[in-house]
């Protein structure tokens, strides 16, 4: 090759290598975790060694119907399908960023023919055929393209964690709504038993009135109690219908006419969860992992924006064949060219520097959001541990209260039948038992919900994100 062509290329390459030493100036430092994590949870909770949550943790509730609902929800949830599509979009963006690392290759082929006629001169035929190949490649001296790829990789990782967050939210949502439906079903049963008790007492009062023992006032009071018991059924039936329709939406079903599988609310067990140590939240909770990945993407975006201020260096090469024959490259004329270009923006009105400031500001926002998310996660776990412990204590006390209320009603009814007691004592004992039974069912639901909240606060069971293509 002609030395007059090589020497300028070598000099330009040496200049580019010298400028490459400045590449470290565009690397943005990795953002540290902005929150100092505590060594243990509050004194209200006992922190033991870290134990991974089982992938089939929900089996601890002892409800086969719940397992079927969770499987159906994962297959039919629109939220999970949307999360998968967002993963696919992030993967496509990553592939687009990676393509920038490859050279651009172009080919051309042209042929033309014509005839020129001029007055007083013979006709002249003109024919030509040419083919060419060109290659161009941008040297990523400042790491701009590499930073874009790193940002794409981090964004894809964040989308995988977002899918896990959506799945965790779906599983706990389905379980909560199913438990609520079972709870309302049990509370309806309690309310119907209360109605049966009120009607039974009413029959006793009416019989006593016929025998001249009870007064019309006592009959009226007991009839009012019966009507009150019937009225209490209406809001419970409405709430149960709403819980079933909410569950249907999570399953991807049409809510009209949907009725969940029956089950015994009282037989549901509450699994035991190990909270581990606070530091494990950073690796367990998918929302925190997603925030960290987004922060890594922001770091790479800042580096790419700063690198855009520096010159772009590109290599190019092209070759061609040409001949004066039509549709033929016989005995062609060859041409080859090599080039190195250095481009630098002189004036853009400050657009690129404003872009750097914008990406830096976005990075600061992500750092603050990350710290806020960590503090929120710590609070949620502490709240979940405390709620689970307190709800267990309250449920135990409520069971004792129910036992005493049931005994009081039995004694009050017995005394009233024997004529040594009054109706007001029976009515009061009846209301007390109904309230105690209803509160016990509600307290059991609170304990189940506390277990689900703790499961969600701890990050759930991590599974591999689905593959996208």
**In terms of Cα–Cα distance, which of 431, 424, 427, 146 is closest to 300?**
146
Angle between helix 144-210 and 351-418 (nearest 10): 20
Tell me the C-alpha distance between 81 and 79, whole Å.
5
Tell me the C-alpha distance between 289 and 160, whole Å.
10
Query: What percent of the residues of the chain are helix, what percent strand, and what percent coil, each to the nearest 5?
Result: 65, 10, 25
pLDDT, one tens digit per residue, over 89-112 is 999 999 988 888 888 888 888 887
pLDDT, one tens digit per residue, over 29-71 is 555 556 778 878 775 554 445 556 777 888 889 999 999 999 9
Give kind and range of the element (H or E) at residue 320. Answer: strand 312-323
For residue 245, give both structure tokens: 């329709």
Confidence of residue 160 (pLDDT cuts 50, 70, 90): very high
Instruction: Give me the half-sphere count of Cα atoms (radius 13 Å) on the Cβ side of residue 175.
Output: 29
DSSP states of 133-200 as a string?
EEEEEEE-TTSHHHHHHHHHHHHHHHHHHHHHHHHHHHHHHHHHHHHHHHHHHHHHHHHHHHHHHHHH
**Structural contact between residues 50 and 276, judged by C-beta atoms closer than 8 angstroms:** yes
Whole-number mean pLDDT of the chain? 83
pLDDT, one tens digit per residue, over 210-236 is 888 888 998 998 899 899 999 999 999
DSSP states of 265-318 as a string?
GGG----------GGGHHHH-HHHHHHHHHHHHHHHHHHHHHHTTSPEEEEEEE
């Amino acid at each position: 090759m002609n030395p007059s062509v090589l020497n300028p290329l070598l000099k330009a390459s040496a200049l580019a290598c010298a400028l490459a030493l400045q590449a470290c100036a565009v690397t943005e430092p990795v953002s540290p975790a902005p929150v100092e994590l505590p060594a243990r949870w509050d004194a209200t909770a006992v922190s033991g060694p870290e134990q991974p949550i089982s992938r089939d943790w929900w089996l601890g509730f002892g409800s086969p119907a719940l397992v079927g609902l969770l499987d159906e929800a994962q297959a039919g949830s629109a939220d999970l399908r949307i999360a998968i599509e967002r993963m696919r979009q992030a993967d496509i963006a990553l592939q687009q960023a990676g393509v920038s690392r490859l050279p651009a290759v172009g080919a051309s082929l042209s042929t033309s023919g014509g005839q020129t006629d001029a007055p007083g001169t013979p006709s002249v035929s003109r024919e030509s055929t040419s083919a060419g190949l060109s290659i161009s490649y941008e040297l990523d001296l400042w790491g701009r393209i590499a930073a874009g790829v790193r940002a794409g990789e981090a964004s894809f990782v964040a989308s995988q964690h977002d899918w896990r967050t959506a799945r965790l939210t779906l599983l706990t949502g389905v379980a909560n709504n199913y438990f609520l439906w079972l709870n309302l079903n049990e509370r309806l049963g309690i309310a119907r038993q209360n109605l049966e008790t009120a009607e039974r007492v009413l029959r006793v009062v009416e019989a006593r009135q016929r025998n001249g023992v009870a007064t019309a006032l006592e009959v009226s009071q007991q009839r009012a109690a019966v009507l009150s018991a019937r009225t209490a059924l209406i809001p419970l039936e409405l709430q149960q219908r709403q819980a079933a329709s909410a569950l249907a939406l999570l399953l991807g079903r049409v809510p009209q006419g949907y009725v969940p599988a029956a089950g015994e609310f009282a037989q549901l067990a509450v699994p035991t969860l190990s909270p581990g140590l606070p530091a494990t939240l950073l690796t367990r909770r998918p929302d925190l992992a997603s925030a960290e990945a987004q922060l890594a993407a922001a770091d790479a975006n800042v580096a790419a924006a700063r690198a855009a201020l520096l010159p772009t260096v590109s290599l190019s090469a092209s070759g061609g064949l040409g001949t004066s024959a039509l549709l033929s490259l016989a005995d062609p004329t060859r041409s080859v060219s090599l080039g190195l270009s250095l481009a630098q923006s002189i004036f853009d009105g400050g657009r690129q520097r404003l872009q750097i400031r914008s990406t830096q500001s976005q990075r600061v926002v992500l750092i603050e959001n990350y710290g806020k998310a960590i503090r929120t996660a710590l609070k949620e776990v502490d709240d979940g541990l405390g709620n689970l412990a307190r709800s267990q204590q309250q449920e135990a006390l409520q069971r004792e209260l129910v036992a005493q209320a049931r005994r009081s009603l039995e004694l009050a009814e017995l005394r009233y039948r024997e004529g040594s007691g009054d109706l007001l004592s029976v009515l009061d004992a009846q209301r007390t038992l109904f309230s105690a039974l209803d509160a016990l069912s509600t307290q059991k639901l609170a304990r189940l919900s506390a277990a689900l909240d703790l499961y969600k606060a701890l990050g759930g069971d991590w599974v591999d994100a689905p593959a996208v293509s």
